């Protein structure tokens, strides 16, 4: 009897896991929808406070991240061009830089940095606010927690993600030229000419679309995890780890989805 019932229990667990995952995804989608509606419809009351929080989030997520992002971009660009200079030939370096740095590695590595710095920080902050009943205090004060807490952080992270993406690409191209200058005879004018010919408006638009999508994904997942954490301190570390892993997974899936639409 137990052996006969084993397949039923297995498929039952699979079904429950699927339904729980579907419910979680729909809850994320619903939260993203509400935050995007707040972007389009902003009440006049409290705009100054919301704007100040959003600016502070941009400063934390973008300006303070430059000390990590710029050296990382230079190192990645130089290593990438250094490796491909041995197999791709001198006249392919500009195209290699565009294909790998601008299209794929730039958005993904930038998203990873934003997740590690801002996504986890937002999850910790909102989780503590929930555990310490600060979110309930906001509701009792007659304010919408999503507008006061979630929306400015989503706006700040998304704007920061877009800005950091462009800065990463510029720094990576600079690092690529540094490696090119050390390893090949290609001049700066020739290298930049190759990069300029390889970069198209579609590459810039697709990169910006990825950056915006990643910013929304990171902020929504981090905020949702913070708003739904269990009311105990010991649940916060595991919740932050889950938010980081989930954000990275969704960013990779979105990256594949966007690339398959525009490049395949």
> Is-above-0.85 flag for pTM?
yes
60 near 114, Cβ under 8 Å? no
Q: Which of these, 206, 142, 176, 163, lies nearest to 62 by C-alpha position? A: 163
Q: Write out the chain's pLDDT in tens, 264 residues.
A: 555 556 667 777 888 888 888 898 999 999 999 998 888 887 777 788 889 999 999 999 999 999 999 999 988 888 877 777 666 555 566 666 667 788 888 899 999 999 999 999 999 999 999 999 899 988 888 888 998 999 999 999 999 999 999 999 888 888 877 777 776 666 767 767 767 776 777 888 888 999 999 999 999 999 999 999 998 899 999 999 999 999 999 999 999 999 898 877
- Which residues are within 8 A (CB) of 113 and not within 5 positions of it... i.e. 6 or more apart? 65, 68, 69, 72, 164
Q: Which of these, 58, 102, 60, lies nearest to 77 by C-alpha position? A: 102
Buried b (16+ CB within 10 A) or exposed e, 165-203: bbbbbebbbebbbebbeebbebeeebbeebbeebbeeeb
Rounded Cα distance between 247 and 37, Å, is 22
Rounded Cα distance between 147 and 94, Å, is 44
């Amino acid at each position: 009897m137990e052996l006969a019932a084993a397949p039923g229990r297995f498929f039952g667990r699979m079904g429950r896991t699927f339904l729980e995952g579907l419910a979680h995804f729909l809850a994320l989608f619903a939260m993203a929808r509400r935050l995007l509606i707040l972007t389009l419809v902003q009440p006049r009351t409290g705009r100054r406070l919301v704007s100040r929080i959003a600016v502070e989030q941009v400063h934390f997520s973008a300006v303070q991240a430059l000390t990590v992002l710029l050296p990382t971009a230079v190192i990645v660009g130089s290593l990438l061009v250094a490796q491909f200079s041995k197999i791709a030939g001198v006249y392919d370096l500009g195209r290699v830089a565009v294909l790998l740095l601008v299209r794929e590695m730039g958005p993904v590595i930038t998203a990873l940095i934003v997740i590690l710095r801002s996504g986890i920080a937002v999850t910790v902050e909102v989780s503590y606010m929930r555990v310490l009943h600060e979110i309930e205090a906001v509701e009792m004060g007659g304010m919408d927690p999503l507008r006061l807490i979630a929306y400015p952080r989503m706006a700040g992270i998304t704007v920061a993600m877009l800005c950091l993406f462009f800065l990463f690409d510029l720094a990576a191209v600079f690092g690529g030229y540094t490696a090119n200058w050390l390893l090949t005879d290609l001049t700066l004018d020739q290298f930049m000419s190759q990069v300029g010919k390889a970069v198209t408006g579609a590459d810039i638009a697709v990169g910006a679309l990825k950056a915006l999508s990643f910013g929304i994904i990171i902020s929504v997942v981090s905020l949702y995890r913070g708003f739904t954490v269990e009311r105990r301190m010991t649940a916060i570390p595991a919740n932050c780890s889950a938010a980081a892993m989930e954000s990275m997974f969704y960013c990779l899936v979105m990256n594949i989805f966007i690339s398959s639409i525009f490049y395949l």
